Amino acid sequence: MTSALLFACVGAILFALGLAGVALIGHLLRRIFAFNVMGSGTFLILVGLAQRHGSADPVPQAMVLTGIVVAVAATALALALTRRLHALTGKLELPADEP
Amino acid sequence: MIGLILLPLVWASLAFVLGPGRGKWLAIAGLSAQTWFAFDLAQQISAGKAAIGHQVGGWGAPLGIDLAADGLSSAMLLLTQCVALPLAIYASAYYKRDDAAGAYFWPLMGFLIAGLNALFVSADFFNIYVTLELVGLAAVGLVAAGGGAQQIAAALRYLFATLVGSGLYLLGVALLYGAYGTVSIESVSLLVTAEAPRMVWIAFGLMVLGLMLKTALFPFHYWLPPAHGGSPAPVSALLSALVVKASFYLMLRLWIGPFAPLVAAAPWLAWGPAALGTLAIFWGSWQAIRTPRLKMLIAYSTVAQLGYLFLIFPLLNGPGAIQAGVMQAFAHGLAKAAMFVAAGVFIKATGQDTVAGLAGAVNRLPITLFAFGLAGVTLMGLPPSAGFLAKWQLIEAALNQGHWWLVLVVLSGGLLAAVYVFRVLRQAFLLAPVDTPVLPFTPVPRTLEWTAFALALTSVLLGLRGVELMRLIQAVGAVA
C-alpha cells in the first residue's frame, strides 16, 4: 500500500465518520465538531492523493489553506448561531420539526 | 464581466462600514449598474461570441483565476440581476430605519449576489467551491437575521445542509485533482472519457449528491420550508428565486460539460434526478395544498417547482431540454420572488401569516392580490407566461424522445399548482365572515405593492419575449 493510498483511505474514513456525525448527532456542539472532522478528511485526501513520486504538490496545499479558512468561518457562524439559540431557548439541540 | 463580481463586493462592504440598516441607495445604484452589465454581456454573447473569458489580474490559468461566460452563465447572470434589483427596491421600503431584522440585510445581500455572480462565471472546480460557500454562508446569515428562536433553528438546519452539500462537492474536487492533477473545468472536460477510473465516477456521484442536497431536491428538501418560510419576505424571495438555482445551474453545467462522457456511458443515471424531481412535484404540491400558513405554502411550492428543473436530465441528448430548464428557472425565479414579496405585503397588512387571514384582501390590496394571481398563472403554466413556455418546451422534448409519462407528470403538476394557488385566491376573494369583526388592515407603502406587481408581470410577459432568451441559451449548446 503506497502512502498516497493510505492517506486517501484514512481521509475517506474520517469523512464518513464526520458525515455520520453531522447527520445523526443531536447535540449542536458535537455536530459542529463532526463537521470539522469531515472537513479534515477531505483535506487529507486532497494533500495525500496529490503527492506524487515523493514530492509535495503546492496547488492542493493552497486549496487546503483556502478550505481551512472557509471551514473556520463556517464553524464561527455555526457557533454564533448555537450560542444565540442557547440564549433564546436554553437548549443545545435543534427543536423538533414544526407540525 | 469582472464588474459583476466586484461591484456588489464594493457596495456590500461600504454598506457594512456605514452601519446597521444603511446603504440601501448604494445597493440600488450598484444593482442598476450590474443589471446593465448583465444585459450588455448577454447582448455580446447573443451577437455571436460563443464565450467570453477573462483572466483576473492578468494571471493565466494554472496560477491565476480564470473567468468565463457563455450563453448559460450569462442567462443566469441576467436572471440574478433582474430579480435582485426589484427585490432591493422592495426591501428598501420593507425594512424600517431601525428594524433589527434588517440591520445587516444590505451587506449580506451584496455578498450573496457577488457569490452568485462569481459562481456563474467561474471556470474551475475549486473556485466554484469557494463561491458555493460564499453563497451558502451569506444565505444562512440572511435567514438568521430574523433573530427569533425559530429563525435561528432554521438557519442552523440550513447551515448544516449547505455545509454537508459543499463538503461532498469538495471531496469530489479532491478526487478529481487526485485523478487528473488539475481543477480547470476545460482541461478536465478534455481528460474525462467513458473509461475513466472509478475515482472519477465516485467524484461525479459525490458532486451531484452534494448539489442535489443544496438544491433541496426531494428527499433533501427538509431544510428548505423552515428556512424559506420563516425569514422576512425579501430574504425568502432571494433564497427561493436565486440561491437554489445556483446549485442547479452547477449540476446542469457539470452534467453537460466535463462529465458528459460518463453520462453517455450510463444513460440510466439521468433517470435518478428525474424520478426524484417527479416525487418532489407531487410531495411539494401536496404539502402546499395542506399547510395552513401562507409562506409555508409558497415554500412548499418551491420544492415542487424545483422538481421540474430535474425532469430535463433524461432529455438532455435531444434539443430543447436545456432551454426548457433555464426557462423554468427564469419563470420560477420571477414568479416566486413576486409571490414571496406579495405574501410579505399581506403579512404586513394583516399582521398574520395564515391563508385564512387573507379573507377580504381583495378589497384592500387589489394590486398585491393581482400580482399574486399573475405569479400563480406562471406557476400553473398558463399561456402566455414564461412558465407556459418552459412546460411547453419540456413536453415537446419529452414527446420527441417518446417519454410520454414525463408529459403526465408536467400536466398533473400544473393542476396541483392550480389547486394551491386558487386556495389562496378563493380565501382572498371571500369576504370575512359576518360574525367575526373585520381585522384592521395596516396601510403599506405603495412601493411594496408595485414591486410585487412588476415582478409578477415580468414573469408573465417574459413568455412573449422568450425567443431572445432561447437564442441566448443556444450559445451553450455549442460550447457544451
Cβ-proximal residues to B100 (8 Å cutoff; 6+ apart), any chain: B147
Cα separation of B214 and B208, whole Å?
Answer: 10
- A28 shares contact with chain B (CB less than 8 Å): yes
Q: Is the pLDDT at B28 greater than 80, yes or no?
A: yes
Q: Which of A5, A17, A22, A70 to mutate to test the interface with B (most CBs of B within 10 A)?
A: A70
Q: Is the pLDDT at B48 greater than 80, yes or no?
A: no
Residues of A in contact with B122 (CB under 8 A): none
- A82 shares contact with chain B (CB less than 8 Å): yes
Per-residue pLDDT averaged across B18-43, rounded? Answer: 91
What 3-state DSSP class applies to B99?
A: coil
Determine the residue of chain A that is closest to B133 in CA distance: A70
The distance of A1 to chain B (nearest Cα, Å) reads 16
A50 and B177 within 8 Å at the Cβ level: the answer is: yes
B174 and A49 within 8 Å at the Cβ level: the answer is: yes
Determine the residue of chain B that is closest to A29 in CA distance: B156
pLDDT of residue B399: 92
Cα separation of B364 and B371, whole Å?
Answer: 14
Burial B133-142 (b: 16+ CB within 10 A, else e): bbbbbbbbbb
pLDDT of residue B114: 96
B152 and A84 within 8 Å at the Cβ level: the answer is: yes
B133 and A28 within 8 Å at the Cβ level: the answer is: no
Residues of B in contact with A46 (CB under 8 A): 173-174, 177-178
Please write the tens of the pLDDT for every residue from B259-317: 999 988 888 888 999 999 999 999 999 999 999 899 999 999 999 999 999 999 999 88
* Secondary structure letter of residue B122 according to DSSP: B
- B152 shares contact with chain A (CB less than 8 Å): yes
Which of B118, B61, B250, B129 has its CA nearest to residue A43?
Answer: B129
Per-residue pLDDT averaged across B226-233, rounded? Answer: 89
pLDDT tens digits, chain A, 99 residues: what are they?
Answer: 677 788 889 999 999 999 999 999 889 999 999 999 999 999 999 888 877 666 777 888 889 999 999 999 999 999 999 999 999 988 888 887 543
A22 and B160 within 8 Å at the Cβ level: the answer is: yes
B126 and A66 within 8 Å at the Cβ level: the answer is: yes
Burial B449-466 (b: 16+ CB within 10 A, else e): bbbbbbbbbbbbebbeeb
Determine the residue of chain B that is closest to A22 in CA distance: B160
- B 113-132 residues with CB < 8 A to A: 126, 129-130
From the list A22, A28, A97, the residue facing B164 with the nearest CB is A22
From the list B141, B150, B171, the residue facing A42 with the nearest CB is B171
What 3-state DSSP class applies to A27?
A: strand
pLDDT of residue B394: 92
Which of B113, B106, B167 has its CA nearest to residue B135?
Answer: B113
Please write the tens of the pLDDT for every residue from B386-434: 999 999 999 999 999 888 889 999 999 999 999 999 998 888 887 665 4
Per-residue pLDDT averaged across B118-147, rounded? Answer: 92
Give residue B477's pLDDT band: very low, low, confident or very high (50, 70, 90). very low
Which of B168, B279, B165 has its CA nearest to residue B223?
Answer: B165
CA angle B65, B254, B250 (to 5 degrees): 70
- B175 shares contact with chain A (CB less than 8 Å): yes
- A89 shares contact with chain B (CB less than 8 Å): yes
For residue B429 the three cell numbers come to 376573494
pLDDT of residue B96: 81
Residues of A in contact with B65 (CB under 8 A): none
The distance of A87 to chain B (nearest Cα, Å) reads 9
Q: Is the pLDDT at B480 greater than 60, yes or no?
A: no
Q: Are B457 and B86 in contact, with CB atoms under 8 Å apart? A: no
Q: How far is CA A93 from CA A28, B152, B291, B338, in A?
A: 6, 12, 25, 35
A46 and B137 within 8 Å at the Cβ level: the answer is: no
B174 and A73 within 8 Å at the Cβ level: the answer is: no
- A37 shares contact with chain B (CB less than 8 Å): no
- B463 shares contact with chain A (CB less than 8 Å): no
Residue type for position B378: T
Cβ-proximal residues to B165 (8 Å cutoff; 6+ apart), any chain: B132, B136, B210, B211, B213, B214, B247
Per-residue pLDDT averaged across B75-79, rounded? Answer: 94
Q: Is the pLDDT at B475 greater than 70, yes or no?
A: no
- A88 shares contact with chain B (CB less than 8 Å): yes
Residues of A in contact with B149 (CB under 8 A): 85, 88-89, 95
pLDDT of residue B22: 85
Determine the residue of chain B that is closest to A32 in CA distance: B160
Please write the tens of the pLDDT for every residue from A17-27: 999 999 998 89
Residue type for position B480: A
Cα separation of B313 and B282, whole Å?
Answer: 18
Alpha helices in B219-270 (DSSP H): 224-230, 233-238, 244-256, 260-265
Cα separation of B134 and B132, whole Å?
Answer: 5
A50 and B163 within 8 Å at the Cβ level: the answer is: no
Residues of A in contact with B145 (CB under 8 A): none
pTM over 0.90: yes
The distance of B167 to chain A (nearest Cα, Å) reads 7
Q: Are B171 and A43 in contact, with CB atoms under 8 Å apart? A: no
> What share of chain B in percent tops pLDDT 90?
57
Mean pLDDT, all residues of chain B? 89
Residues of A in contact with B137 (CB under 8 A): 73-74, 77
- Where are the domains positioned within chain A? 3-94
Q: Are B80 and B116 in contact, with CB atoms under 8 Å apart? A: yes
Higher per-residue confidence, B201 vs B53: B201
The distance of B9 to chain A (nearest Cα, Å) reads 17
B177 and A81 within 8 Å at the Cβ level: the answer is: no
CATH code of the domain occupying A3-94? 1.10.287.3510
Give residue B203's pLDDT band: very low, low, confident or very high (50, 70, 90). very high
Determine the residue of chain B that is closest to A26 in CA distance: B157
